[in-house]
Amino acid sequence: MGEENLYDSGYNYPLSVIHDGDHGGDDFITTLVALQRSNEINLLGITTCHGNVSVNTATRNACLALDLFDRRDVNVFEGADVPWKIPSQRGDNAFGFNGLGGVDMGEPKKTPQNSSAQEYLANTIQATDKKVNLLATGPLTNLAQLFSSNPSLLENVELLTIMGGCLNPLGPNKRQGNITKHAEFNFYMDPDAADFVLGLEIPTVLFPLDVTHQLVFNENRKQMARSVLKTELGEKLIGVMGAAENVDDSKFELGGAIFHDALPLLFLLKPELFRGKSMHLSINTDSNSEYHGQIRECRDEKMNRSQVFLVDQLTDPGGAFEIILTSVSAVAEQNSRTVA
Ligand code: RIB
Ligand code: CA
């Protein structure tokens, strides 16, 4: 394991970013923040995947997020509806039937494109004149399929930031995973894809539960949100931010919903908020094992894989939440003006 340190980002803003997610509540909020922070993030497009909800519902939710912006240039492309190599895994319905905690965001006006996520990713990454950053917040099925059949595209990827996995978020002898005792949801849903992607020769930064549990939408932050998000849309967005709170609390008692997927985006915006370590990682892909989907530090033949920068500390959770809240309240404000 490498020394604890800051990641040397050397970012040249704005970053060209594609968001690949399974658009439940925290993916949805992450897309809003990315679109709102257009000085730093040039969101090229959104690709969707099975996970929190069916891929059709994830696509619908990504379209609903885009409806809150006047951005015809950003489109949604539907991706994998099942894992790469195994049958679908059963999730925990953390974000409810519609992926947004039951919050009714209406019918989407935006519609997905006809081309698939695979076609879009391959064409965009191939044609780019500026390297692309991939922001992955769901099972890694789309990316595993993409790079296994088009390895030359790796050259055009600047950085891959991933929410997934868990090492030791709560200390020894405690529950570590959020879907099984040992595994985190995104990696559990497609362990083969996660194992393949973590071995790719591209700069990769991983945000496991160890760090995402440090950013919780607790009662104090909810009060802060209520004091600035006073419109009908604002109240709905508070509902979306808290969508998984019952499931999260029942497992970890952290006092609210966890903003998992926002962290890899916050890293693109402010890498200095995070600390981590470089490690060789692999994923347990044995579907007969109770450790299926578990992340492991390599001590074996997989040591020749490329290293991943694993983030385990968020140094300023208050500052991180402020970025989310400022962006979400700007979205609510802009839309109330549009409606008026
Ligand atoms: O384990 C957290 C992950 O699972 C997040 O991506 C969240 O959206 C859920 O899908
Ligand atoms: Ca997600």
CATH code, domain carrying 290: 3.90.245.10
Q: How far is the CA of 337 from the centre of ligand 1 (A)?
A: 32
Q: How far is the CA of 25 from the centre of ligand 2 (A)?
A: 8
Closest CA to 13 of 328, 269, 236: 269
- Which amino acids bring their CB within 6 angstroms of ligand 1? 22, 24, 26-27, 51-52, 137-138, 163, 178, 184-186, 260-261
Q: Residue 114 pLDDT more than 90?
A: yes
The predicted-structure confidence for 228-265, as pLDDT tens digits, reads as follows: 999 999 999 999 999 999 999 998 999 999 999 999 99
Closest CA to 104 of 74, 53, 60: 60
Burial class (CB in 10 A: 0-12, 13-18, 19+), 92: middle
Q: Residue 2 pLDDT more than 70?
A: no
Mutation choice for ligand 1 from 52, 95, 251, CB with most ligand atoms inside 8 A: 52
Query: If you take atom 10 of ligand 1, which residue's CA is the nearest one?
Result: 52
Q: Which residue has the higher pLDDT, 221 or 302?
A: 221
Which ligand 1 atom is at minimum distance from the Cα of 212?
2
Look at residue 38 and tell me if it is in a domain.
yes
Q: Which ligand has the minimum distance to the alpha carbon of residue 51?
A: 1
Domain that holds residue 224: 15-334
Look at residue 1 and tell me if it is in a domain.
no
Query: If you take atom 1 of ligand 1, which residue's CA is the nearest one?
Result: 185
Q: What is the pTM of this model?
A: 0.96
Q: Which ligand has the minimum distance to the alpha carbon of residue 211?
A: 1
**Which structure tokens are listed for 99?**
């992926």
Q: How far is the CA of 129 from the centre of ligand 1 (A)?
A: 31
Q: Which pLDDT score is estimated for 4?
A: 59
Look at residue 5 and tell me if it is in a domain.
no
Total domains in the chain come to 1
Residue 143 CB-half CA count within 13 A = 34
Tell me if 79 sits within 8 A of 20, measured CB to CB: yes
Please give the angle made by the CA atoms of 22, 254 and 135, to the nearest 5 degrees: 25
Closest CA to 101 of 43, 47, 27: 27
Q: Residue 179 pLDDT more than 60?
A: yes
Question: Residue 155: which pLDDT band, with cuts at 50, 70 and 90?
Answer: very high
Tell me if 240 sits within 8 A of 101, measured CB to CB: yes
Look at residue 309 and tell me if it is in a domain.
yes
Tell me if 279 sits within 8 A of 61, measured CB to CB: no
Which ligand 1 atom is at minimum distance from the Cα of 52?
10
Closest CA to 104 of 233, 241, 259, 229: 233
d(CA 313, CA 266): 13
In the residue annotation, 280 being an active-site residue is answered as no
**Which structure tokens are listed for 37?**
């922070």
**Which structure tokens are listed for 154?**
């790796």
Query: What values do phi and psi take at 275, rounded to 5?
Result: -130, 150
DSSP structural state of residue 5: B
Look at residue 339 and tell me if it is in a domain.
no
Non-local (6+) Cβ contacts of 296 within 8 A are: 281, 282, 283, 284
Q: Which ligand has the minimum distance to the alpha carbon of residue 186?
A: 1
Q: Residue 170 pLDDT more than 80?
A: no
Active-site position among 23, 260, 280, 292: 260
3-state secondary structure of 214: coil
**Which structure tokens are listed for 248?**
């999260």
DSSP structural state of residue 264: H
Look at residue 56 and tell me if it is in a domain.
yes
Look at residue 134 and tell me if it is in a domain.
yes
Look at residue 340 and tell me if it is in a domain.
no
Which whole number is the average pLDDT over 49-69?
97
Closest CA to 132 of 114, 149, 146: 146
Q: Which pLDDT score is estimated for 10?
A: 83
Q: Which pLDDT score is estimated for 171?
A: 64
Q: Which pLDDT score is estimated for 173?
A: 63
Q: Residue 1 pLDDT more than 50?
A: no
Query: What values do phi and psi take at 200, rounded to 5?
Result: -70, 155
Question: Residue 340: which pLDDT band, with cuts at 50, 70 and 90?
Answer: very low
Q: Residue 277 pLDDT more than 70?
A: yes
